[in-house]
Amino acid sequence: MHNKFYLMKIILSLMKGFAVLGVLHFQCRASRLPFDASNLAMTYTALTSLLILGDDLSRVDKSAIINAMKYLQKDDGSFTQTYQGMESDMRFVYCACAISYMLNDFSGINIDKVVQYIKESQSYDYGIGQGPGLESHGGSTFCAIASLYLLNKLDEGLLSKDKTIFWLISRQESGFQGRANKPPDTCYSFWIGASLMILDSFEFIDYDQNYNFLMTTRSFGGFSKWPGSYPDVMHTYMGVAGLSLMEESKKLDPALNISLKARKNLLKCVFKSE
């Protein structure tokens, strides 16, 4: 109990930094905080962590975050991670959409441009890449589909729901691979699985093969990327999340990637409080 509140405090103090520094330009000024630039991905993680811990997000400076987000969207609709950041791709599009959804305020993003970016990132095989012209990839496909879902633009953003579903289920080969002809990897049981779940098509996968593969990647109490490797925190989470989609564990919200319990917290505390 004590630890939980301590954690919340830490996260909130870091978030304050994001809100305040979000709009500062990128010179290396003297700063009292350990990390300079506020970061979209970290903001997403911070907010979901707070929800998991049961916080009601009332101490978060929502308007500052949403306003700062406006500076991160590029002309082509994608988002950078930090102000004047060097990389912009589907990962941060997802972060922006998820943050906006959790704070119930979409004024920080130009929705039409986001939908356009996602449309242009769909490939001839109807999978979705990190950006226009790039190879279809399980991670970016999840980011795109979840973003469209959170923006309620699934029907407009996907060129062909049916063909995208087929691309997704074609990624199963025992476990799931991230791209064609690559070996299956634990984390794609979530990225691909959650995408299918958002498209109401999770039932079309082979549960047994998925489950058996995940069991072979168990390692020292966690999960690793492949059978016989060392585990890491990310793949351990993804392994559990992948099992959760098959209801082997606590249930999961596929679009926000948090448990249903945390999602209930969001609905109760954040959406009702506005």
Q: Which is nearer to other proteins, 5 or 204 (CB)?
A: 204
Instruction: Based on the shown chain and the rule CB under 8 A, indicate whether residue 146 belongs to the binding site for other proteins.
Output: no
The number of residues making up the chain comes to: 274
Q: Which is nearer to other proteins, 85 or 104 (CB)?
A: 85
Contacts 24+ apart (CB under 8 A), 150-157: 150/97, 150/98, 150/100, 150/101, 150/255, 150/256, 151/97, 151/106, 151/111, 151/114, 151/115, 153/111, 153/115, 154/198, 154/199, 156/115, 157/115, 157/118, 157/119
Mind giving me the DSSP string for 195-226?
Answer: HHHHTT-GGGS-HHHHHHHHHHTEETTEEBSS
Binding mask 105-124 for other proteins (x = CB under 8 A): --------------xx-xxx
Residues 232-261 that bind other proteins (CB under 8 A): 232, 235
Q: To 10 degrees, the CA torsion angle through 133, 139, 140, 143?
A: 170
- Residue span binding other proteins (CB under 8 A) among the ranges 63-71, 72-80, 205-213, 240-248: 205-213
Q: Write the single-letter amino acid at 204.
A: F
Among 2, 133, 221, 272, interactor with other proteins by CB under 8 A = 133
Among 12, 52, 169, 269, interactor with other proteins by CB under 8 A = 169
Distance separating the N- and C-terminal Cα atoms of the chain: 27
Instruction: Based on the shown chain and the rule CB under 8 A, indicate whether residue 157 belongs to the binding site for other proteins.
Output: yes
Instruction: Based on the shown chain and the rule CB under 8 A, indicate whether residue 226 belongs to the binding site for other proteins.
Output: yes
Report yes or no: 99 and 64 within 8 Å, Cβ to Cβ: no
Least CB distance to other proteins at residue 64 (A)? 21
What's the rounded Cα separation, in Å, for the pair 143 and 232?
Answer: 22
Q: Write the single-letter amino acid at 45.
A: T
Report yes or no: 58 and 273 within 8 Å, Cβ to Cβ: yes
Among 6, 23, 76, 87, interactor with other proteins by CB under 8 A = 87
Instruction: Based on the shown chain and the rule CB under 8 A, indicate whether residue 70 belongs to the binding site for other proteins.
Output: no
Binding mask 7-46 for other proteins (x = CB under 8 A): -------------------x-xxxx--xxxx---------
Instruction: Based on the shown chain and the rule CB under 8 A, indicate whether residue 211 belongs to the binding site for other proteins.
Output: no
Which of 46, 43, 45, 34 has the alpha carbon at shortest distance from 8?
46
Instruction: Based on the shown chain and the rule CB under 8 A, indicate whether residue 158 belongs to the binding site for other proteins.
Output: yes
Binding mask 177-196 for other proteins (x = CB under 8 A): --xxxx--------------
Among 13, 45, 63, 229, interactor with other proteins by CB under 8 A = 229
Q: Which is nearer to other proteins, 100 or 172 (CB)?
A: 172
Contact positions vs other proteins (CB under 8 A): 26, 28-31, 34-37, 86-87, 119-120, 122-124, 132-135, 137, 154-162, 166, 169-170, 172-173, 179-182, 204-206, 209, 219, 224-226, 228-230, 232, 235
